[in-house]
Amino acid sequence: GAGVSQTPSNKVTEKGKYVELRCDPISGHTALYWYRQSLGQGPEFLIYFQGTGAADDSGLPNDRFFAVRPEGSVSTLKIQRTERGDSAVYLCASSLQGTGANVLTFGAGSRLTVL
Amino acid sequence: DQQVKQNSPSLSVQEGRISILNCDYTNSMFDYFLWYKKYPAEGPTFLISISSIKDKNEDGRFTVFLNKSAKHLSLHIVPSQPGDSAVYFCAATDFGNEKLTFGTGTRLTIIP
């Protein structure tokens, strides 16, 4: 596609529920990233995929968070047993090569609100 | 531990004047720096970057200056235009690392 597409744009859920956030990167971009932006903060790294594999998941806050990219394109971020502190905008980005200095193209984000 | 700091949460500048946004970092391993611009309800978009082997990089109205000894960089926008009103994020990484570490952002408002 022309840009990075994220769905849903907004998600409201109750504490304890399971949530999936989807990212469709730019066609041909092999590197895909998830970031989280809490209110008043800058984006915070969660996980990076090169192709189908998670090359760096050191930013995932705990084992309630998991992400997959089974075919090397679309990625899903999964959050189990959501907590109010998970409320944030979840940003997905992609880049062509993923060599550390590449410019990331971000999607508009999925705003998650946990009540 | 905030490794990238933007100490000014907001800045207002008259249209046509120079806007200067500042960023400080603490991690001496960082050797590549980027500025992103964000409009409401949109993702951040890349603006300009600089490698630690340079002390200045210019692209049209935008110039980024890097002072490695002070661990400080700044973004200059001249002349400022109303469309420049946005939140600006400074980000840093060490080359080969896929993680970007972002600052908390500075909201720039250009006054017509």
DSSP state letters, chain B: --SEE---SEEEEETTS-EEEEEEE--TT--EEEEEEE-TTS--EEEEEEETT-SEEEETTEEEEEETTTTEEEEEESS--GGG-EEEEEEEE-TT----EE---EEEEEE-
Minimum distance, in Å, between the CA of residue B42 and any CA atom of chain A:
4
Q: What is the pLDDT of residue A97?
A: 75
> From the CB of residue B51, how many other CB atoms can be counted at a distance below 10 Å?
12
Q: Are A43 and A24 in contact (CB under 8 A)?
A: no
Minimum distance, in Å, between the CA of residue A107 and any CA atom of chain B:
5
Contacts of A45 in chain B (CB under 8 A): 99-101
Q: Is A31 on the interface with B (CB under 8 A)?
A: yes
Q: Is A43 on the interface with B (CB under 8 A)?
A: yes
The token pair that represents B8 in the structure block: 């000014």
Virtual torsion, Cα B107, B66, A35, A2, nearest 10 deg: 80
CB-based contact A100 B102, cutoff 8 Å: no
Q: What is the pLDDT of residue B60?
A: 97
Q: Give which of B31, B50, B100 to mutate to test A binding, by max A Cβ within 10 Å.
A: B100
pLDDT digits (tens, 9 = 90+) for A14-59: 999 999 999 999 998 999 999 999 999 999 999 999 999 999 999 9
CB-based contact A106 B45, cutoff 8 Å: yes
Q: What is the pLDDT of residue B48?
A: 96
For the segment B55-75, the average pLDDT, to the nearest whole number, is: 97
Rg (CA), chain B: 13
pLDDT digits (tens, 9 = 90+) for A55-91: 999 999 999 999 999 999 999 999 999 999 999 999 9
Q: Band of the pLDDT at A101, cuts 50, 70, 90?
A: low
For the segment A87-110, the average pLDDT, to the nearest whole number, is: 87
For the segment B30-56, the average pLDDT, to the nearest whole number, is: 95
For the segment B102-108, the average pLDDT, to the nearest whole number, is: 97
Q: What is the pLDDT of residue A71?
A: 93
pLDDT reading at A1 higher than 70: no
Find the CB nearest A43 among B6, B44, B97: B44
For the segment B30-53, the average pLDDT, to the nearest whole number, is: 95
CB-based contact A48 B95, cutoff 8 Å: no
Mean pLDDT in chain B?
95
Q: What is the pLDDT of residue A18?
A: 98
CB-based contact B98 A98, cutoff 8 Å: yes
Q: Are B101 and B27 in contact (CB under 8 A)?
A: yes
Q: What is the pLDDT of residue A99?
A: 61
Q: What is the pLDDT of residue A100?
A: 59
Q: Band of the pLDDT at A98, cuts 50, 70, 90?
A: low
Distance CA B98, CA B89 (A): 17
Distance between start and end Cα atoms, chain B? 38
Q: Give which of B7, B33, B99 to mutate to test A binding, by max A Cβ within 10 Å.
A: B99
CB-based contact B98 A48, cutoff 8 Å: yes
